[in-house]
Amino acid sequence: MVSAVLIGLTTIFMLGHLYNFFAKKQQKKSYFQSSLFTKLFFSMVALTFGFALIYFLLSMDEPVLRINDETGEAAGQNFLEYLYFSGVTMLSVGYGDLVPVGAARFFSLIQAALGLLLPSAYFVKAFNERDDKEKEGQGNRSDKKSEEEEEEEEEETRKKDRTAQQTDKN
């Protein structure tokens, strides 16, 4: 029962990170987007830890990892082994030394898919923006402000001027 609640909370945490990754569609225009890369990195780390926690919680009920040899012994005696398996799965390394069994097989498939799709989405977005800049002929505009940023600054300046005028009148 406790593991089910914790798995639910962990899933919500991971979905929040995924939402955060895809929510902001406007990024600074540049060939390399450090903000997008940072989001990708922290999303991948959060998902790796989240799935490790799911495997750990699932193991409270039954073994979820087995050693891939003749004995087929249960593996995953501590959280670090689940973190290792999660990292290997997330990065699509798949050494084959540990094999998921039971419900962990489903979660490992989802994790492997996310490990492939998130970086792919990053590169597609980066290349699309690069192509857009080349079409516009504007080159790298990471140091230039967007129209929205300029409008916001102008509005702030107007507000400060009004406040200063009201202070002078008093």
Query: Going by CATH, does the domain composed of 2-144 fall within 1.10.10.370?
Result: no
Rounded Cα distance between 111 and 54, Å, is: 11
Q: Which pLDDT does position 29 carry in this prediction? A: 46
Question: 24 near 42, Cβ under 8 Å?
Answer: no
Rounded Cα distance between 52 and 3, Å, is: 13
List average pLDDT for each run of 10 residues in the chain, which is 170 residues long: 90 84 54 75 94 93 88 84 93 87 92 92 77 64 61 79 71
Q: What's the whole-model pTM score?
A: 0.60
Q: Which pLDDT does position 49 carry in this prediction? A: 96
Judged on CB neighbours under 10 Å (0-12, 13-18, 19+), 111 is buried
